[in-house]
Amino acid sequence: MAVTLTENAAAHVKRHLARRGKGVGLRVGVRTSGCSGLAYRLEYADAVNPDDLEFESHGVKVVVDAKSLPYLDGTELDYAREGLNEGFRFRNPNVKDQCGCGESFNV
Amino acid sequence: MALLQIAEPEAASGPREPRRAVGIDLGTTNSLVATVCDGVPRALPDEEGRVLLPSIVRYLPGGGVQVGYEAQAHQGDDPKNTIASVKRLMGRGLKDVARSGNAPYDFVDAPGMVQLRTVAGVKSPVEVSAEILRVLRLRAERALGGPLAGAVVTVPAYFDDAQRQATRDAARLAGLEVLRLLNEPTAAAVAYGLENAAEGVYAVFDLGGGTFDFSVLRLARGVFEVLATAGDAALGGDDFDLRIARWALAQAGLGEPAAKDARRLVLAARAAKERLAQQDETPLVCELADGRRLERVLSRATFERLTADLVDRTLAPVARALRDAGLSPADVKGVVMVGGATRMRHVQRAVAEFFGRAPLNDLDPDQVVALGAAMQANVLAGNRPAGEDWLLLDVIPLSLGIETMGGLVERIIPRNSAIPTARAQEFTTFKDGQTAMSIHVVQGERELVADCRSLARFELRGIPPMPAGAARVRVTFQVDADGLLSVSAREKSSGVEASVAVKPSYGLTESDIERMLRDSVEHAREDAQARALAEARVEGERLAAAVRAAIAADGALLAADERAELERLLAHLDAALPGADTAAIRRAADALNRASEPFAARRMDAAVRRALAGRSLADLDV
Ligand SMILES: Nc1ncnc2c1ncn2[C@@H]1O[C@H](COP(=O)(O)OP(=O)(O)O)[C@@H](O)[C@H]1O
Ligand SMILES: [Mg+2]
């Protein structure tokens, strides 16, 4: 049971956290939305809640709420550049079906 | 897939949610809902992964309702409470329904629309349809994670106002905000036109469960123009099922079955028919109420022989629509197959033979209407970036023309002409000595000025006095690349000119255009009749005025009995003119016209002699 970051992704998270000046780590979760059902949440974590699970990856604390974990288990977060855009990409082995925009998915 | 950024914890909602809008194909046999996600339309499945929802509603004694497959399973054992093909009843009175025959329901006559007596009370077709739409709404809300911004619901092109209104009411009753009702062939064209961006004349061949609808469309740069439609509101896959059922009964030596058995047998027949799209032969098995078992093997060859005339029946409207559009089968670049029944091999073959080309079926024929509706809904909900939400950029969205006598529109630049463009047409004066001509520029597809949009009016003055019909006024419409229209008029013999510049699309929203186009299709026949009447009146008035003027000027050329006869026919025409009987006006005018021919010839001779007396031939602008 884990959600991990690539080294590159971890470096970016650290840089973002340092620039922000606060936060204990990165919060990853899912919410319902979009055309195929679920969408990712990617936020700064300012606190760890009782029903959260914590993972450590390349020196970054990754926080996942218990409800989201079944949808995210085994996910690796990468940092990528596509044309002019840069950002985090989810490699989620649970995804069966993904909407065209990649913003939402089904498991 | 999208690249995500880390958000502040509060901003849990993430990027702006697109407004969730759906397209719904409310079919006679099957209904479905689709939506667009990031530009890609897709049908939304139920929890079991099924996209189609049989359009069947069953009412239960306790007030419960079953919709779809659940209801379909009881069609055989609870026919009176299990309502299928309710779309046929939408906006229909008992009389319309009675004609269509063998439905096993308890119809209740009601003002406006027929109703159905069920175990849960009397239901209107609107309520029954709303049950179907409600299931689709819930399915979409679950899939999209929230309430819907709105829906585009499709209707057959031939639906009249009552049927459209009933559909709209049903959607509202189901808790849907109706963004627009869209014609089914138009939705199919949207799906194909925008997906494949293929230009040219296309036909949409839609054979569903209970209806056949054929349309000829022109697609150009994502813009479609409906050239003609035709169809048969009482022909569909159901008729093929009935043929098989009847054949099976005859084979088994059985007579008319009980209603229960008939339903079951028809269901078995339908399943067999659908299998024959893949298989050369298939078993047809049906348990009868008395415990007997009807068992036959149906080959595709037999099936095709049993139903060949039904396939032929689709070709008559096809030929009619092509004739209306002034096209031959070879002009059609592709035939879009819509409706589950177009999967039948002999239907595909007949269409291929008729058009001399294989029909298009890249999109699922069950889904194509809903997919197009979803794309339309997406645009209407404002989910397309500016610039892409407007498709009619480089063609004229609605025809441009001028008003002629009798409040009729003479089209000068037809809709969907590419711009820049210029077209000219010649007009003449209506009255003797007319020195000015009022030019009224209008936009729209309807035949009467009153039903079109007025863009500008201007006057051409200084026309030298001439007999009616002698002036030659050339009216030129010019539309530049920005869509700016300028209209000029020039009288040829004198050279007098006048012009005006107008912006044709000013103030016309996409929905205005859509409405005007829809109106033109819906009112095509009515308009043609109105036009014929208005034309007959104008002709009649023109003729009466001309004959009166001639009698006043050259009455001396007439014998007394000739004059009396003309007066009699004039009075006859005067009496007919205010009426609404186009044929009577034409007959009266024809009679007057024939009777006045010798007189006109004599006058012409006299006029020519007079004219030539003072002029040389070179002066005559002939
Ligand atoms: N594979 C198939 N072969 C023949 N007919 C089919 C097949 N699949 C579906 N159909 C027929 O298509 C019809 C329903 O088409 P559909 O487009 O859903 O209708 P509607 O628009 O009237 O709701 C039914 O008569 C059904 O039996
Ligand atoms: Mg249909």
CA distance B492 to B470: 11
Query: Which fold does the domain A4-106 belong to in CATH?
Result: Hypothetical Protein Aq_1857; Chain: A; (2.60.300)
CA distance A11 to B11: 23
A31 CB neighbours in chain B (<8 A) are 12, 14
Q: Which amino acid is at B428?
A: T
**Interface contact B37-A32, CB threshold 8 A:** no
Number of structural domains found in chain B: 4
- Please check whether residues B464 and B604 belong to one and the same domain: no
Look up residue A98 and give its two tokens.
Answer: 């993904």
Nearest CA in chain B to A20: B8
Catalytic residue, chosen from B87, B123, B261, B403, is B87
- Please check whether residues B134 and B54 belong to one and the same domain: yes
B6 CB neighbours in chain A (<8 A) are 13, 16, 26, 42-44, 88
Residue where one domain finishes, among candidates B318, B349, B384: B384
| Residue of the CA atom closest to atom 9 of ligand 1 | B340
The closest of B583, B444, B462 to B515, measured between CA atoms, is B444
CA distance B347 to B328: 20
Ligand located closest to B347 CA: 1
DSSP collapsed to 3 states, B276-330: CCCCCEEEEEEECCCCCEEEEEEEHHHHHHHHHHHHHHHHHHHHHHHHHHCCCHH
Nearest CB to B4; choose among A16, A42, A100? A42
Is the pLDDT higher at B192 or at B353? B353
Residue B9 lies in a domain: no
pLDDT-derived band at A89, boundaries 50, 70, 90? confident
Residue B2 lies in a domain: no
Nearest CB to B14; choose among A41, A89, A98? A41
Look up residue B134 and give its two tokens.
Answer: 């409600």
CA distance B168 to B155: 10
pLDDT digits (tens, 9 = 90+) for B394-439: 456 678 899 987 788 888 988 766 666 788 888 888 788 888 888 8
**Interface contact B2-A39, CB threshold 8 A:** no
**Interface contact B143-A42, CB threshold 8 A:** no
**Which CATH number is B44's domain given?**
3.30.420.40
pLDDT-derived band at B393, boundaries 50, 70, 90? very low
Nearest CA in chain B to A29: B12
Catalytic residue, chosen from B78, B131, B169, B184, is B184
- DSSP per-residue letters across B27-78: -SSEEEEEEEETTEEEEPP-TTS---EESEEEE-TTS-EEETHHHHTTTTT-
Q: Which residues line ligand 1 (CB under 6 A)?
A: B 27-30, 208-211, 236-238, 270, 273-274, 277, 339-341, 343-344, 366
Question: Among this protein's residues, is B184 annotated catalytic?
Answer: yes
- CA–centroid distance, B599 to ligand 1, in Å, is 67
Question: Among this protein's residues, is B261 annotated catalytic?
Answer: no
The predicted pLDDT at position B360 comes to: 83
- Please check whether residues B371 and B432 belong to one and the same domain: no
Ligand located closest to B31 CA: 1
Average pLDDT over residues B37-52: 88
- Please check whether residues B431 and B378 belong to one and the same domain: no
- When mean pLDDT is compared across A21-35, B336-350, B484-498, the lowest value belongs to A21-35
The closest of B551, B529, B545, B538 to B577, measured between CA atoms, is B538
The predicted pLDDT at position B362 comes to: 83
- Please check whether residues B205 and B302 belong to one and the same domain: yes
Average pLDDT over residues B448-462: 83
Question: Among this protein's residues, is B503 annotated catalytic?
Answer: no
- Our measurement of the distance from residue B104's CA atom to the centroid of its chain's CA atoms, rounded to an integer in Å, reads 31
- Please check whether residues B61 and B76 belong to one and the same domain: yes
How large is the ipTM?
0.81
Ligand 1 atom nearest to B27, measured from its CA: 23
The predicted pLDDT at position B505 comes to: 39
Which of A17, A30, A35 has the most B C-beta neighbours within 10 Å, making it the best mutation to test the interface with B? A35
The predicted pLDDT at position B536 comes to: 84
The predicted pLDDT at position B221 comes to: 57
**Interface contact B7-A103, CB threshold 8 A:** no
pLDDT at B620 over 50: no
Name the percent of chain B in helix, strand, coil, to the closest 5: 40, 25, 35
- Please check whether residues B435 and B546 belong to one and the same domain: no
Ligand located closest to B307 CA: 1
**Interface contact A88-B3, CB threshold 8 A:** yes
Angle between helices B582-614 and B524-554 (to 10 degrees): 40
**Interface contact A33-B145, CB threshold 8 A:** yes
Q: Which domain holds residue B550?
A: 526-612
CA distance B435 to B494: 11
The predicted pLDDT at position B333 comes to: 86
CA dihedral B80, B86, B92, B95 (to 10 degrees): -40
Residue B161 lies in a domain: yes
| Neighbouring C-beta atoms of residue B49, cutoff 10 Å | 6
- Please check whether residues B335 and B323 belong to one and the same domain: yes
- Please check whether residues B270 and B328 belong to one and the same domain: yes
Nearest CA in chain B to A13: B6
Residue B597 lies in a domain: yes
pLDDT digits (tens, 9 = 90+) for B354-376: 999 999 888 899 999 999 999 88
**Interface contact B3-A36, CB threshold 8 A:** no
Catalytic residue, chosen from B78, B131, B169, B206, is B206
Look up residue B160 and give its two tokens.
Answer: 């009249």
Residue B499: strand pairing partners: B488
The predicted pLDDT at position B193 comes to: 60
Ligand 1 atom nearest to B55, measured from its CA: 23
pLDDT-derived band at B69, boundaries 50, 70, 90? very high
pTM: 0.56
Residue B442 lies in a domain: yes
The predicted pLDDT at position B617 comes to: 40
Count residue pairs from A and B with Cβ separation < 8 A.
Answer: 84
Q: Domain ranges for chain A, please list them.
A: 4-106
pLDDT at B171 over 70: yes
Q: Are strands B200-207 and B334-338 parallel, antiparallel or unpaired?
A: parallel
Residue B8 lies in a domain: no
CA distance B294 to B288: 7
Chain A closest CA to B127's CA: distance in Å? 28
- Please check whether residues B186 and B200 belong to one and the same domain: no
The predicted pLDDT at position B517 comes to: 61
Q: Where are the beta strands (DSSP E) in B145-267?
A: 150-155, 178-183, 200-207, 212-220, 223-232
- When mean pLDDT is compared across B42-51, B160-169, B320-329, the lowest value belongs to B160-169
**Interface contact B145-A100, CB threshold 8 A:** no
Nearest CB to B4; choose among A34, A40, A98? A40
pLDDT at B11 over 70: no
Average pLDDT over residues B151-176: 82
- Please check whether residues B62 and B168 belong to one and the same domain: yes
The predicted pLDDT at position B598 comes to: 82
Residues 6+ apart with CB under 8 A from B448: B407, B408, B409, B527, B530, B531, B534
Residue B390 lies in a domain: no
Residues 6+ apart with CB under 8 A from B236: B28, B29, B207, B208, B209, B210, B211, B212, B339, B341
Summary mean pLDDT of chain B: 82
Nearest CB to B145; choose among A32, A85, A87? A32
Chain A closest CA to B359's CA: distance in Å? 28
Look up residue B510 and give its two tokens.
Answer: 């996409």
- Please check whether residues B315 and B221 belong to one and the same domain: yes
Residue B620 lies in a domain: no
